[in-house]
Every structure is written in C-alpha cells, then in structure tokens.
Copies of this chain bind each other. A is one copy, B any other.
C-alpha cells in the first residue's frame, strides 16, 4: 500500500514539474524573473512585500495565492503594482498550496510584457508549497522569530529548497524567549550556509538588503 501511495505522489510531482517547465519557458520568453515567496500563516509575507516593493528599482508584479478571499491583494493595491489574485478554493478543491497548473491558469491574467519581476505569494503553509515547483527562478521563505527555533527541523523540505531565508519580526526579539543562534544552527543543519537575512517588516530593518538581493537576482538570471 505505502509503495503505491508514494508512486502516485511521484507521478503527480512529475506532472507538476512538466507544467512548471512550461511556465518557466513563458516567463523566460517575456524576460520575467520569478520568485516563489513562502511561509507559515502570519509570518509576514505580505507586509514584507509592501515594504520591499516600495522603491524597488524594478517593474514588479504580484500573484497572490490564497485559499479564498483577496485580503492581501487588496492591501498591495495601494502600491500601484499589478496584483493578480489566485484562489485555490473555487475549482482547485481548497488546496493548501499553489501548484504549476494553478499558476499556469493565471498566466493570461498576468501583465508579463510589462514587468521584470513577478513575486508569487504562496498559500501560508510550511509543508506542501515546498513540494510544488511553479516555474520560479528562486524561492524565498519567511520565518518569523515568534514561531520558535525548531521550525527548520520540523519542516526541512521548505528550508532546504529555498535560496533565501528572511528571518522576520526581529523587532520582537527583546520580548521573546528566543535563541537566534539555535535557529541559525537548526537552519544550517538542514540547509548548510543558505543565505539568510534578519528583517523586520514592522520597522523596515533589513528590508533594503532584501531589495538589493532581488535586484541582483534580476541581473544574474540569464535572459
């Protein structure tokens, strides 16, 4: 039984990867750099996006993934960047993650000819989003210090498959029983040396470094 189950999962991931490559071809053809932004619910993805998109020297667009509603998309609307809402609830069975096919269904609604960078804000979840490539150039995950030091050990695939970890809510460190060294130790245990940045979406601390990272990513990705 278990072997069959794993085989089915592998087949589904193979099918997903095929569609992810098609997405990637479309993004490349339009010369758009794509970031898949992931985290647990409430880690601060949207607030960090609000911060980083302000003054970003790139033409950016956002694809907002949510089970339902458009609360985050509405928040980002004031930034005057093109925001497209993608809900997993109607039509996709209320999935807890974005997959390549869902992103593909949103492509016609994305202004690919008018942007340099597309940030795909995934559904808040540390498990399944990590299993599904959507055609991105890089994965960025947000880990809030309020979530505790053990998250890399409990959700290793997420931490292992990202190119950058944003350690958010550092403004709260003085008020927490939180051991930053232990988090970094756990992070290196599952993804040795992965690029990490200490940030605060609330105060803006560290956001400029992320802005520079995005700008450099855009320059490095082969056209």
Task: List chain A positions with a Cβ less than 8 A from chain B.
Answer: 2, 5-6, 8-9, 40-42, 66-69, 71, 90-96, 123-128, 131, 144, 146-148, 150-151, 153-157, 169, 172, 175-177, 202
Contact = CB atoms under 8 A, between A and B. Distances in A.
One complex includes copies of this chain to the number of 2
A177 B202 contact: yes
Nearest to A150: B71
Chain A interface helix/strand/loop/mixed: loop
A96 B127 contact: yes
Given A2-B91, A125-B127, A177-B202, 14 more contacts: A40-B42, A40-B124, A42-B146, A42-B148, A67-B155, A69-B153, A94-B127, A94-B131, A96-B96, A96-B128, A123-B127, A124-B126, A124-B154, A172-B172
